[in-house]
């Protein structure tokens, strides 16, 4: 008998443990945000894509290690949430979405392959343990859910504040390094995004045992370039509106899905929500959940949000799958226990959630499924 009933951001948790009169809340929704990164009464997951190739300016290929890591995350989720998911893939229970970037799409396909190995009656090829599973995505310039920073309205806001004296002062500690790197590489280095891109190029080279340029030793992997990457993360929440839209939009959708699931009058929709994105997705959702601590999210890291129910009382649990190593860490929203009552969860995060008329991309208010 299935104990978990709701969707979540992928994080699956053991269900219905009863002892001494205490009933551990059943999973109802699971949401998983994967880095290239989450809901469980229903689980939702946001995850980060797998390891990428060095020459990957616009979302290209995954390494073989990255492919295997994404597939194994699917297997890990199967082990953790198998009772909730059931033995077979059921299209009506799953919503999967990716950014439009190739590596994010590939990572989602690989995760789904590990999560839903076809059972006997679902096999369509005798020697292939794989079945096609649909997912959706939007063009990055229209994707306010997973890629708000590419929306024209978001870009206009960034162009407005980057020249401001207050923001320019934040760049002062990095100016000498940026000038030198511009000379050494012939590529412009003047804003946090340039430091972010360089950091990840060097990280990819290091992961593939490629020799690093000598000039990088003074500020990589620790030091100014790492701090400049953290500054790029903070750039996407520099104004109140940006903070609410970037990350807060996805948290708003996860909350809406959980509220719909708790309303018995509302038609049951999904049990599991999977979102395949990038490290900035993982960073922004951790920031919106108020549990962010500066670090670089690893490949195949994931934030998982579970909705749980006990005697018509609803609770939210948040987990962070670190990716490397592949372990889960239970997270605690400030002001709430790790098993946080749903109403309290919403109250604590309300200042990070956008109003519906603030969820705008290309000057159009966006609606979701």
User: Catalytic amino acids?
Assistant: 49, 279
Task: Give residue for tokens 């104004």.
Answer: 239
Angle, helix 248-262 to helix 342-349, in steps of 10 degrees: 160
Q: What angle do CA 185, 187, 191 make, to 5 degrees?
A: 120
- 45 near 323, Cβ under 8 Å? no
- 131 near 118, Cβ under 8 Å? yes
Please name the helix (run of DSSP H) or strand (run of DSSP E) that holds residue 67, with its range, or none. Answer: helix 64-85
CA pair distance 10, 50, nearest whole angstrom: 16
Indicate if the alpha-carbon torsion angle 100, 288, 343, 25 is positive or negative. positive
CA pair distance 119, 303, nearest whole angstrom: 28
**Residues in contact with 141: Cβ distance below 8 Å, sequence separation at least 6, in sequence order:** 150, 151, 152, 361, 362
CA pair distance 125, 313, nearest whole angstrom: 45
CA pair distance 32, 269, nearest whole angstrom: 16
Structure tokens given for 63: 């390494």
- 369 near 257, Cβ under 8 Å? no
Other Cβ atoms less than 10 A from the Cβ of 329: the count is: 10
3-class DSSP assignment, residue 97: strand
């Amino acid at each position: 008998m299935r104990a978990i009933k709701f969707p979540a951001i992928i994080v699956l948790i053991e269900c219905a443990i009863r002892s001494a009169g205490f009933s551990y809340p059943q999973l109802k929704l699971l949401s998983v945000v994967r880095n290239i990164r989450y809901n469980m009464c229903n689980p939702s997951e946001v995850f980060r894509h797998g390891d990428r190739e060095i020459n990957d300016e616009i979302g290209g290929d995954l390494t073989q290690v990255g492919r295997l890591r994404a597939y194994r995350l699917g297997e890990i989720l199967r082990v953790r949430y198998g009772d909730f998911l059931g033995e077979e893939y059921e299209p009506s229970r799953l919503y999967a979405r990716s950014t439009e970037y190739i590596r994010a799409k590939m990572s989602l396909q690989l995760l789904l392959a590990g999560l839903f190995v076809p059972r006997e009656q679902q096999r369509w090829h005798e020697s292939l343990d794989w079945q096609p599973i649909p997912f959706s995505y939007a063009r990055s310039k229209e994707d306010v859910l997973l890629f708000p920073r590419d929306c024209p309205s978001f870009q206009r806001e960034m162009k407005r504040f980057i020249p401001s004296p207050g923001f320019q002062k934040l760049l002062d500690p990095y100016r000498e390094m940026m000038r030198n790197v511009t000379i050494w590489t012939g590529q412009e280095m003047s804003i946090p995004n340039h430091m972010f891109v360089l950091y990840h190029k060097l990280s990819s080279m290091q992961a593939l045992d490629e020799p690093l340029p000598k000039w990088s030793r003074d500020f990589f992997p620790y030091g100014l370039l790492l701090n400049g990457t953290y500054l790029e993360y903070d750039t996407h929440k520099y104004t109140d509106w940006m903070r609410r839209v970037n990350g807060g939009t996805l948290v708003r959708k996860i909350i809406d899905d959980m509220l719909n699931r708790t309303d018995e009058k509302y038609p049951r929709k999904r049990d599991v929500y999977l979102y395949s994105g990038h490290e900035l997705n993982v960073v922004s959702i951790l920031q919106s959940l108020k549990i962010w601590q500066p670090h670089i999210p690893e490949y195949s890291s994931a934030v998982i949000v579970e909705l749980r129910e006990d005697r018509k009382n609803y609770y939210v649990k948040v987990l962070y799958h670190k990716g490397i190593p592949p372990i889960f860490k239970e997270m605690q929203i400030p002001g709430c226990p790790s098993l946080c009552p749903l109403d309290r969860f919403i109250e604590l995060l309300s200042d990070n959630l956008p109003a519906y008329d603030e969820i705008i991309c290309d000057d159009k208010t966006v609606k979701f499924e």
